[in-house]
């Protein structure tokens, strides 16, 4: 009996993330199965049992009538959930230590950057100004993490380990040692009132779109040596109201923002974020997924699935993440 093929549909990406690189990795870990890099003119759609995808075009996956599992090559599945014709088979997202560690690095880097007043110090160096400012202790700040899933919980623990006070917010209730956890709409205001640096690691869903808006920024705590609160968003651009962020930065509601994600990516050349003095900007690379790690993760899951074992990290289509 045919083992079926694995179809690779990868749009966008950098050199390390090229479709060809994924093909080489998948050929290596799926040696007993045909791996097809699409578009492939010789493709028989009925042959495809598995698809490993990043940002497939809406409707692309509907062509495969025998599809058994869709593997998203990243953690966030918002692009797939927006495809009304997505086949009704399990959709698996990435949750692996490698990605989690990369995101923890990004969050720790940016929290420390604001806490240790790095933008001021770099500017001082640029203008040859010897004007030290007092450096307060980590426990003078409360970091609030929105989203206490795979990535948020790991970042929360790392920040706690550095001595920050950490609070978190999720949909369902959580217990994490040393972290004060809030949940649901009822817990949001209390969470924001405690927070000096807001870190967003939520998925983009119908419930979270544009959650980072002026109302939220106004509720953040100003009671810290930072003065105005800081926003760090590495979730998705659709979580943020970008006009509200710019107004909040300009009128002092927010002191600074670190942004990795944007409503429109690549960020348009005329975006005010590029040159804003209080924005630290990165090009959606807080936590890249690594083709070596993820291809092994997918191959392991296919093995489990074919042995009748449950798949890990299956997306709940109702919740949208
Ligand atoms: P996850 O494990 O699914 O965790 C999501 C968290 O968000 C959970 O704690 C969940 O609450 C919470 N949440 C979802 N909807 C909510 C709502 N309406 N109200 C309150 N809390 C809500 O996801 P993850 O692996 O941590 O990844 C999070 C996101 O990071 C991804 O979806 C992706 O968009 C983004 N990401 C970005 C990059 C990058 O390079 N910038 C890289 C990877 C991922 P429950 O725990 O109660 O379900
Ligand atoms: C990257 O943004 C991901 O969702 O893995």
Measure CA of the first residue to CA of the last residue in the chain; give whole Å: 34
Residue 43 lies in a domain: yes
- Say which CATH number the domain at 231 has: 3.40.50.720
Distance 223 CA to ligand 2 centre (A): 33
pLDDT tens readout for residues 127-139: 999 999 999 999 9
pLDDT tens readout for residues 62-73: 999 999 999 999
Question: Does the pLDDT at position 13 exceed 70?
Answer: no
Q: Are residues 14 and 135 in the same domain?
A: no
Sign of CA dihedral 126, 127, 128, 131: negative
Q: Looking at 56-60, 72-76, 116-120, 179-183, which range is the least confident one?
A: 56-60
> For residues 245 and 212, is the Cβ–Cβ distance under 8 A?
yes
Distance 74 CA to ligand 1 centre (A): 12
Which of 145, 156, 140, 113 shows the shortest CA–CA distance to 223?
Answer: 140
Q: What is the number of other CB atoms lying within 10 angstroms of the CB of residue 120?
A: 13
> For residues 225 and 248, is the Cβ–Cβ distance under 8 A?
no
Mark whether 210 is an active-site residue: no
Q: Are residues 196 and 65 in the same domain?
A: no
Expressed as residue numbers, the domain containing 26 is 5-96+289-306
CA–CA gap between residue 169 and residue 148 (Å, rounded): 6
Asked whether 155 lines ligand 1 (CB < 6 A), one says: no
Question: Does the pLDDT at position 11 exceed 90?
Answer: no
Q: Indicate the number of domains in the chain.
A: 2
Question: Does the pLDDT at position 17 exceed 90?
Answer: no
Q: Which residues line ligand 2 (CB under 6 A)?
A: 74-76, 94, 289
Q: Out of 102, 247, 276, 284, which one is annotated catalytic?
A: 284
Asked whether 220 lines ligand 1 (CB < 6 A), one says: no
Q: Are residues 92 and 235 in the same domain?
A: no
- pTM higher than the cut 0.85: yes
Predicted pLDDT at 115: 98
pLDDT tens readout for residues 94-104: 999 999 999 99
HSE value, Cβ hemisphere, 13 Å, CA-based, for 292: 3
Q: Are residues 39 and 86 in the same domain?
A: yes
Distance 75 CA to ligand 1 centre (A): 8
């Amino acid at each position: 009996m045919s083992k079926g093929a694995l179809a690779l549909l990868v749009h966008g990406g950098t050199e390390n993330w090229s479709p060809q690189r994924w093909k080489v990795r998948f050929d290596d870990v799926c040696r007993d199965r045909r791996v097809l890099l699409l578009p492939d003119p010789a493709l028989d759609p009925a042959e495809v049992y598995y698809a490993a995808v990043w940002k497939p075009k809406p409707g692309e996956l509907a062509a495969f009538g025998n599809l058994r599992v869709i593997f998203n090559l990243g953690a966030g599945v918002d692009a797939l959930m927006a495809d009304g014709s997505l086949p009704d088979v399990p959709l698996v997202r990435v949750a692996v230590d490698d990605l989690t560690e990369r995101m923890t690095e990004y969050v720790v880097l940016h929290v420390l950057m604001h806490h240790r007043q790095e933008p001021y110090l770099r500017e001082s160096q640029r203008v040859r100004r010897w004007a030290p400012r007092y450096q307060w202790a980590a426990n003078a700040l409360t970091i609030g993490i929105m989203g206490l899933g795979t990535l948020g919980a790991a970042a929360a623990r790392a920040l706690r380990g550095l001595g920050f006070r950490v609070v978190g917010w999720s949909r369902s209730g959580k217990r994490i040692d040393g972290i004060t956890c809030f949940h649901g709409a009822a817990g949001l205001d209390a969470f924001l009132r405690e927070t000096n640096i807001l870190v967003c690691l939520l998925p983009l869903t119908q419930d979270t779109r544009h959650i980072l808006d002026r109302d939220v920024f106004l509720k953040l705590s100003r009671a810290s040596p930072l003065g105005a609160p800081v926003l760090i968003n590495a979730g998705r651009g659709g979580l943020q109201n970008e006009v509200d962020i710019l107004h909040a930065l300009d009128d002092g509601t927010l002191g600074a923002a670190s942004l990795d994600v944007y409503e429109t990516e690549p960020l348009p050349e005329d975006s005010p974020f590029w040159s804003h003095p209080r924005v630290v900007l990165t090009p959606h690379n807080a936590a890249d997924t690594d083709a070596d790690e993820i291809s092994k993760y997918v191959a392991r899951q296919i093995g489990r699935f074919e042995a009748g074992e449950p798949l890990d990290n299956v997306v709940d289509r109702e919740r949208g993440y």
